């Protein structure tokens, strides 16, 4: 095997070299209970000083820092998407796709480099692409119209207090709307239950800090895949992984795996960490 495609597993021991490809494709994805509830997971890449997004001088607003993005983490991101029944995304992500600001199209990428992931889905009997579930408060019908070309089921998830005219226009564009909240916002538990009702058992959030807050506040998240890129970035305007009011109680995690990837970008490395939420902590 090409040594540059290897990473070092540090935990659980003993330390062992492993192939980068397949690392997250084969990782067990189950919560081990018989509740029938979907397994919910997310992932982030962060600088050592906790930045997941910084000012984007080219497009305005924030985006993932170009100084930490790298192909090796991207491979694992695609592997996690390959395993999902549905991707949870924010309306902001769709807006960025429309304006060309988004990092890439929705996974699983059609780039030939990821052809094995499409074959893997086919072998599992999964549809070619995971469904997309867009969390939104603003419910902009023009975003729904953009989804017409996506070759996968698309759902918009909203709270009950939503503009009824916008809702009718979204549905007219062929998008299913799920009401999963009592007020203006989507609530994690209602969303997961609704998607379980659609027959989905693996939900992958590729959204940011507000959606993470939504999933943690209702205790529906099971796993966090977190890449720590070994750079400090500084800067005054940035996002961290989590937004919103302080969690009370805080969410506690236990490490499930830790991999060292020494060759991510220009000789700088990264840790791939996998954390399971501690139920009842």
For the four alpha carbons of 200, 188, 146 and 94, in that order, the dihedral sign comes to: negative
Residue from 7, 20, 91, 200 in contact with ligand NAP (CB under 6 A): 91
Q: Is 64 in the site for ligand NAP (CB under 6 A)?
A: yes
Q: Is 81 in the site for ligand NAP (CB under 6 A)?
A: no
Per-residue binding string, ligand NAP, 223-242, x by CB under 6 A, is ----------------x---
Per-residue binding string, ligand NAP, 166-185, x by CB under 6 A, is -------------------x
Residues numbered 109 to 138 that lie near ligand NAP (CB under 6 A) are: 135-138
Q: Which is nearer to ligand NAP, 76 or 186 (CB)?
A: 186
User: 71-82 vs 115-124: helix axis angle to the nearest 10?
Assistant: 20
Question: Cβ-closest residue to ligand NAP?
Answer: 208
Q: Which is nearer to ligand NAP, 6 or 132 (CB)?
A: 132
Residue from 86, 87, 97, 186 in contact with ligand NAP (CB under 6 A): 186
Region binding ligand NAP by CB under 6 A among candidate stretches 33-41, 56-64, 250-258, 270-278: 56-64
Q: Which is nearer to ligand NAP, 49 or 119 (CB)?
A: 49
Q: Which is nearer to ligand NAP, 39 or 77 (CB)?
A: 77
Residue from 75, 83, 92, 202 in contact with ligand NAP (CB under 6 A): 92
Give the interface with ligand NAP as residue ranges (CB under 6 A): 44-45, 52-53, 62-64, 90-93, 135-138, 185-186, 207-211, 214, 239
């Amino acid at each position: 095997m090409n040594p540059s495609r290897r990473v070092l597993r540090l935990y659980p021991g003993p330390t062992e070299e492993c192939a980068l490809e397949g690392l997250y494709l084969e990782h067990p994805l189950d919560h081990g209970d018989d509740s029938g509830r979907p397994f919910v997971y997310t992932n982030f890449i962060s600088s050592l000083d906790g930045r997941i997004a910084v000012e984007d001088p080219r497009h305005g607003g924030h985006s993932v820092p170009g100084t930490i993005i790298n192909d090796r983490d991207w491979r694992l991101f695609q592997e996690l998407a390959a395993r999902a029944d549905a991707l949870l995304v924010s309306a902001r992500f769709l807006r960025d796709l429309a304006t060309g600001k988004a990092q890439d199209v929705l996974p699983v990428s059609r780039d030939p480099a990821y052809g094995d992931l499409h074959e893997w889905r086919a072998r599992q009997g999964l549809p070619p692409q995971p469904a997309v579930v867009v969390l939104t408060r603003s419910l902009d019908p023009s975003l729904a119209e953009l989804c017409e070309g996506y070759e996968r089921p698309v759902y918009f998830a909203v709270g009950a207090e939503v503009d009824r005219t916008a809702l009718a226009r979204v549905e007219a564009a062929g998008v299913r709307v799920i009401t999963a909240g009592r007020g203006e916002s989507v609530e994690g538990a209602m969303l997961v239950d609704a998607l379980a009702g659609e027959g989905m058992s693996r939900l992958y959030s590729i959204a940011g800090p507000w959606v993470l807050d939504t999933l943690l506040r209702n205790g529906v998240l099971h796993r966090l895949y977190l890449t720590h890129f070994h750079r400090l970035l500084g800067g005054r305007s940035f996002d961290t992984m989590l937004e919103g009011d302080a969690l009370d109680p805080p969410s506690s995690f236990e490490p499930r795996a830790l991999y060292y990837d020494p060759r991510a970008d220009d000789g700088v490395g990264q840790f791939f960490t996998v954390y399971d939420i501690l139920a009842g902590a």
